Structure 1
């Protein structure tokens, strides 16, 4: 009876079962680490503006309260009060429960806020902002707090590839204002009837100025529910396979087989029981690897962003799913074989 391959199989099974739980993008982690290291060096050398840019890049790659705190300090040290206060507002919104971040951000706003103009911005859908030509740090959001230096400032917003018209703000020290952005809509087509003149239609944008429409929906992508089923199935099968491998090794065990089956050859009942369990374990290994592979494919074709179009919302309704891991007596000697039942209901 050969137990050596079982130990190796258990290790392979564990790897397959955990492969579905993908961590953060390694490339982004590396970029964030490199940017943070470069920022720390620049900060130490007294190059605060350069350091702030690196810390902001690190936070953009992998959001981090630590990187954001260093960016706030560096902007303040560089004398860029409006940028430091804007970063502080972002920190308060993103990490309200982080005591260290909250303390620094609150102190920064209290110190710098009175000399700046506070703009509360709302967007019709998640947008990115820019003050003049400088992008405001942060991920796309529907609500922003931006601090501006006194004077006439221009504030713009973008919705993917669609830009909203810029708005001019007369910023004053200690002042505040509310700004609303919505995507720029195409003008109605007022093309004159044939025979009534040529040229560009009145009231419409020129071809170069017409905003691009939103990207086409990825209708071929599927709801996340099948991927969730795959994750649960992979984990359940992995655990069952590990149990089966341990049971194969320990029951009846190599020593017991050698003792009881001496002189009986392969006809020994105990030997055949061990062979049966080894076959069961190998089958579970194959099933686990297969389900893990399918789960990986599902992760690629899943629509993680959801469907923002309310008229299509019903297309991606969550699919009811179930997983049942139990045991059923399948052998005459009273031993039990594990049983796994899983699935999902619905249509794509």
Structure 2
């Protein structure tokens, strides 16, 4: 297993060296953050701290998406026993990297092995929605369709759209079962005209809608998708809810990515 980590480190170095220093996909700060997260994940994996490794590899993937980071996040989640998250990421890898034979073979093998122990839900959203299962955001961006895997038992699934629209479903997962969900956004309700915002109010609005490099929870807030995500966390384990608090993260971490100190404080708090 360690050889997989070392070979993936070498592959990631090649990938990162080929990325432009400034681009819409990955600017220099994101490349540095991804490399730092990946290295932290490597160390955690070698120390058999697989929970931390999974968080770091997912953060690395969020900063600069690569199949290497995603495969190692899957391996790490599997080693913690969280096969549902590992399988959900494997389905994402299978779909995203269909032209990468190594990733396709790895994802298919994992999904075939895990299928009998998990419940697979195929979800379609119209339009694209943010998905939360059991208070955790499943993907970094709203999706039109997705495969989500659940461990046996009861689960709360919520879908959110802009304009504070949402739908809730309670799912009873069974090992080896499959199901489909088609989620249509509710109609937008008319709103009463709002008072002209003050100068302070305008600044607050800019905080919610400007900038990149934030975790998906904060990014969703910027899109107006807040009803479902008010109490959710990301799979990296970030505790933005209470320590240091969502507002602090939004204000301090604009354009800084997940290397932002306040973001890291929330991540550390979640691990304690």
TM-score (norm 2): 0.59
**Counterpart selection for 2:74 from 69, 72, 75:** 72
Compute the displacement of 1:120 (Å): 0.2
Q: Which residue of 1 aligns with 2:60?
A: 58
Matched residue pairs, number? Answer: 176
1:186 deviates by: 4.6
Cross-structure match for 1:143: 145
Deviations 1:248-307 (A, max 9, x none): xxxxxxxxxxxxxxxxxxxxxxxxxxxxxxxxxxxxxxxxxxxxxxxxxxxxxxxxxxxx
Deviation of 1:138 after TM superposition, in Å, equals 4.3
The aligned runs of 1:32-181 (5 Å cut-off) are: 32-160=34-162, 162-181=164-183
2:38 counterpart SS class? helix
- Could you say if the C-alpha distance between residues 186 and 21 of structure 1 is closer, same or farther in structure 2, counting changes exceeding 3 Å? closer
Partner of 1:282: none
Alpha-carbon displacement from aligned partner over 1:199-225 (angstroms, at most 9, x marks no partner): xxxxxxxxxxxxx9x77xxxxxxxxxx
Q: Distance in 1 between matches of 2:123 and 2:25?
A: 33
Pair 82,21 (structure 1): closer, same or farther in 2 beyond 3 Å: closer
1:313-324 aligned at under 5 Å gives the runs: none
Decide whether aligned partners of structure 1 residues 76 and 185 sit closer, same or farther in structure 2, where only a CA change above 3 A counts: same
Contact 1:28 1:61 in 2 (8 A): yes
Q: What is the TM-score normalised by the length of structure 1? A: 0.47
User: Are the aligned partners of 2:156 and 2:168 in contact in 1 as well (CA < 8 Å)?
Assistant: yes
**CA separation in 2, counterparts of 1:147 and 1:97?**
23
Q: Give me the whole-angstrom Cα distance separating, in 1, the residues matched to 2:21 and 2:153.
A: 54
> Contact 2:26 / 2:63 at 8 angstroms: preserved in 1?
no
Q: 1:154 to 1:33 in 2, by over 3 A?
A: same
Q: What is the CA–CA distance in structure 2 between the aligned matches of 1:151 and 1:22, rounded to whole Å?
A: 41
> Structure 1 residues 169 and 78 mapped into 2: Cα distance closer, same or farther (>3 Å)?
same
How far apart are 1:185 and its partner, in Å? 3.4
Question: Would the aligned equivalents of 1:117 and 1:171 in 2 still touch at CA under 8 Å?
Answer: yes
Deviation at residue 28 of structure 1 after TM alignment: 1.3
Contact kept? 2:122, 2:146, Cα under 8 Å: yes
Unaligned runs of 5+ in 1: 1-17, 190-211, 216-348
Question: For the structure 1 residues 22 and 49, does the alpha-carbon distance in structure 2 shift closer, same or farther, using more than 3 Å as the test?
Answer: closer
CA RMSD of aligned residues (A): 2.7
Alignment of 1:242-281 (within 5 A): none
Structure 1 residue 22 displacement after superposition: 7.3
Q: Give the equivalent residue in structure 2 for 1:28.
A: 30
Any stretches of 5+ residues in structure 2 without a counterpart?
1-19, 192-220, 225-272
Q: Contact conserved, 2:158 with 2:169, CA < 8 A, in 1?
A: yes
